[in-house]
Structure 1
Amino acid sequence: MTSSDAPVKGYQLKDISPRAWQHPADRAATAALASVPYLDKVVRMLIQLGYERALRQASLGASVRLGEQQLPDVWSDHVFAYSTLDIASTPPLYVMQTPEPNAFAIGAKNPIVVVQSELLQLLDAPQRRAVFAHEAAHILADHQLYRTALLILLRLTAAARMPLPLMPVRTALLEWYRATELSCDRAAALVTRDPLAVCRTLMSITAGTMVDELDLDAFMTQSMDYAERGNGIERLTRLLLDLGLTHPLPVRRTRELMLWVRSGEFDRIVGGDYVKRDDPVSVRAESGEAVSFYSDRFKDAFRDAGETIGQGGQQLADWLRKAKDDIGS
């Protein structure tokens, strides 16, 4: 599918449930949040103390509200996402001048979406639709309470040293946030009906320059190389690096999305076969898939790392012996 095949007006995934596109990592991380002591209490306290209100006001005060009279094409791309996902109301959209290409939603009950100016400079219309669909999916999936709390904690970290008791909360929310990004990439592909547009969006944001000259096929190959090559130590290092980020690495997001597309799930949902919002939840089936994902992700990495260390043990011993001899001579 090409960008010119973007959905026509009226294409709608009627009553679709966020569970239809939920990534196993998202399902597992969401379940894991329930085991974090006092998490909900801390999150709601951050909201009640006025941090959310201050964050919202800071964003509103440094941005321009878009609409039918203000960048109407961009506003139309934004509205399109909510119509396609069958979301009753469209949140306000603001653009803020900043050199970082990003977009985010603020607000647990009444969200607003903020798009940063550099994003609009980099992306064409199909890619803008992918970004707005991604944010709409977060809102439909009711991610906003935890997402807003994480934004507050990240701002607190940047402004001052975070109190030690909040660090585990921040870590848990970061792991969950990264997992939700994988789900919402899938939703963006469904809204645009063009998974490659989502991949191109990730490539453009990652490069940040000369996007018209970038080769998507080369980037797709890079994503497969990143995920599949390397010894255990390299894979473990990538895992530990991932744990410190707000978003999964772009090449990983690309690979995860395309694996899902190739599984047939994308075509099935576009064809109208998907979970509805009122459908019963099979907790056992969904939790089993999620546990399997995390088990493979962590256990394989550490096991392979141990095998790599064992294989290199003699070389390491020889190197240490030589270093000792050099020092003694």
Structure 2
Amino acid sequence: MTTSPRRVRFPGISSEAYEHPFAQAALSTVRKAKGFDLVLRKVMGAPGEAAMRMHHLACAVKVGDTQFRRLNQVMGEAAHILDVVEPPSLYVNRSIGFNAVTIGFDKPFIVLGSDLIDSMNDDEIRFVVGHELGHAISGHALYESVAWFLAAIGAGGLHGVPGGPLVLKGIELGLQDWGRKSELSGDRAGLLVGQDLEVAIRTLMKLAGGRQTEEMNPSAFLEQAAEFQDATGLRNRIVKWMMPSSDHPLLVVRAAELDRWVRDGAYGRIVHEGDYPLRGESASVKAHLAEGIGGVGRGRASRDSAEGTAGTLLGRLGGAAGGSTRGFFGRPPQ
């Protein structure tokens, strides 16, 4: 494993330090929907998490001291930086390709695709692992499971929900919108772990353009976001209609928004000044669930400007590029 610079550790850091305000707002809206509590209880009572864990024990390679030692070390470093005492189990699975995904809520685990590992260097993998660890800490996989559950059973497959199929479809679409925006939160967690913006942007570029990063330019890639913003501003309805299917991630938006987070000083306050919310001081997703499905606190992230790149683009595009069950690149695991 390559020697890396000393990285800052964040003792007691709350997930609200990196939760993006647009993701928080989207989730808060969905949680207020009539019938959401019932759907959530249905999903939490289902045996899906245990079944998925058994599937990966049988069909994937579990990372540890004797298997994929390099990845095991990266996970240990990421957990140390974000102050996670018991990090999620990590698996390598060929079937999910160039992707990574976090599964489960009670005891989440992370799966990395073998194609992704083959395409990334240590620093890039560190960003990916940090991204997924952020999802695990925040309990995002539960809400992704709700979206998957609704998509699987269909609008008429769950009885007793006020408003019936129409309300259920609204919840499903709202969760798809939140899921896309939650990738911005995961990217922030990945940057806190890797602490190298260039690496983070390069990692996102690799999905957009492949492995030949020597043929790509991070600055030019960020300029694409500005060009895209201009296009959506002038032809909003046309762009919505022409957007790809729901599993397509807005990679230039993610890169630009991560760059904005650094430029506006929020990232620096966490890393260089140690200014971040602590667990117990803020209401995390898991804490609210333990209290009986309450609202999601806004935390320090609400200081971020609503006029940022993500706010403009994601607000205009709405749910056009959402997805039901997300991995690192916004694509559902196969």
TM-score, scaled to structure 1: 0.77
CA distances 1:86-122 after superposition (whole Å, capped 9, x unpaired): 0111111111113631111111101111111111011
Q: Does 1:198 align with 2:200?
A: yes
Q: Specify which of 169, 182, 190 is matched with residue 188 of structure 1.
A: 190
Q: Specify which of 160, 167, 178 is matched with residue 169 of structure 2.
A: 167
Alpha-carbon contact 2:21-2:304 (below 8 Å) kept: yes
Structure 1 residue 170, shift from structure 2 partner: 2.2
Structure 1 residue 78, shift from structure 2 partner: 1.7
SS of 2:231's partner is coil
Give the match for residue 24 of structure 2: 27
Task: Return 255-264 or 208-217, whichever deviates more.
Answer: 208-217
Alpha-carbon contact 2:16-2:282 (below 8 Å) kept: no
Pick closer, same or farther for the CA change 1:231–1:93 going to 2, 3 Å.
closer
Give the match for residue 316 of structure 1: none
Give the match for residue 251 of structure 2: 250
**Counterpart code for 2:38:** K
Q: Specify which of 112, 118, 124 is matched with residue 127 of structure 1.
A: 124
Pick closer, same or farther for the CA change 1:284–1:174 going to 2, 3 Å.
closer
Give the match for residue 95 of structure 1: 92
Pick closer, same or farther for the CA change 1:283–1:209 going to 2, 3 Å.
closer
Q: Specify which of 31, 35, 40 is matched with residue 38 of structure 1.
A: 35
CA distances 1:64-86 after superposition (whole Å, capped 9, x unpaired): 11111111011111221111000
Alpha-carbon contact 2:81-2:193 (below 8 Å) kept: yes
Structure 1 residue 179, shift from structure 2 partner: 1.6
**Counterpart code for 2:107:** N
Structure 1 residue 211, shift from structure 2 partner: 3.8
Pick closer, same or farther for the CA change 1:61–1:84 going to 2, 3 Å.
same
Pick closer, same or farther for the CA change 1:188–1:283 going to 2, 3 Å.
closer
Task: Return 162-171 or 235-244, whichever deviates more.
Answer: 235-244
1:73-92 map, 5 Å: 73-92=70-89
Structure number having the greater helix percentage: 1
Q: Distance in 2 between matches of 1:176 and 1:300?
A: 11
CA distances 1:210-249 after superposition (whole Å, capped 9, x unpaired): 345433232222223222x226453344456679635640
**Structure ranking higher on relative contact order (CA contacts 8 Å, 6+ apart):** 2
Structure 1 residue 18, shift from structure 2 partner: 1.4
Aligned pair count reads 292
Q: Distance in 2 between matches of 1:19 and 1:102?
A: 25
What RMSD in Å do the two structures reach over aligned CA positions?
A: 3.3
Structure 1 residue 40, shift from structure 2 partner: 2.8
Alpha-carbon contact 1:7-1:192 (below 8 Å) kept: no
Alpha-carbon contact 2:16-2:300 (below 8 Å) kept: no
Q: Distance in 1 between matches of 2:94 and 2:123?
A: 21
Pick closer, same or farther for the CA change 1:237–1:291 going to 2, 3 Å.
farther
Pick closer, same or farther for the CA change 1:36–1:293 going to 2, 3 Å.
farther
Pick closer, same or farther for the CA change 1:231–1:47 going to 2, 3 Å.
closer
Q: Specify which of 104, 111, 115 is matched with residue 112 of structure 2.
A: 115
Structure 1 residue 147, shift from structure 2 partner: 2.5
Structure 1 residue 34, shift from structure 2 partner: 1.8
Q: Distance in 2 between matches of 1:218 and 1:250?
A: 13
Alpha-carbon contact 1:25-1:179 (below 8 Å) kept: yes
**Counterpart code for 1:129:** R
Q: Does 1:50 align with 2:52?
A: no
Pick closer, same or farther for the CA change 1:128–1:301 going to 2, 3 Å.
closer
Pick closer, same or farther for the CA change 1:265–1:55 going to 2, 3 Å.
same
CA distances 1:180-202 after superposition (whole Å, capped 9, x unpaired): 11112112111111122111111
Give the match for residue 311 of structure 1: none
**Counterpart code for 1:19:** E
SS of 1:260's partner is helix
Where structure 2 has 5 or more consecutive residues not aligned to the other structure, the ranges are 158-164, 284-295, 318-334
Structure 1 residue 30, shift from structure 2 partner: 2.1
Q: Distance in 2 between matches of 1:35 and 1:137?
A: 24
CA distances 1:1-38 after superposition (whole Å, capped 9, x unpaired): xxx995427x3111111112221201201211221221
Q: Distance in 2 between matches of 1:5 and 1:265?
A: 28
Alpha-carbon contact 1:122-1:205 (below 8 Å) kept: no
Q: Percent identity?
A: 29
Give the match for residue 8 of structure 1: 6
SS of 1:185's partner is helix
Q: Distance in 2 between matches of 1:266 and 1:288?
A: 14
**Counterpart code for 2:278:** K
Alpha-carbon contact 2:13-2:276 (below 8 Å) kept: yes
Task: Return 240-249 or 171-180, whichever deviates more.
Answer: 240-249
1:206-245 map, 5 Å: 206-227=208-229, 229-230=230-231, 232=233, 234-239=235-240, 245=246
Give the match for residue 269 of structure 1: 270
**Counterpart code for 1:42:** V
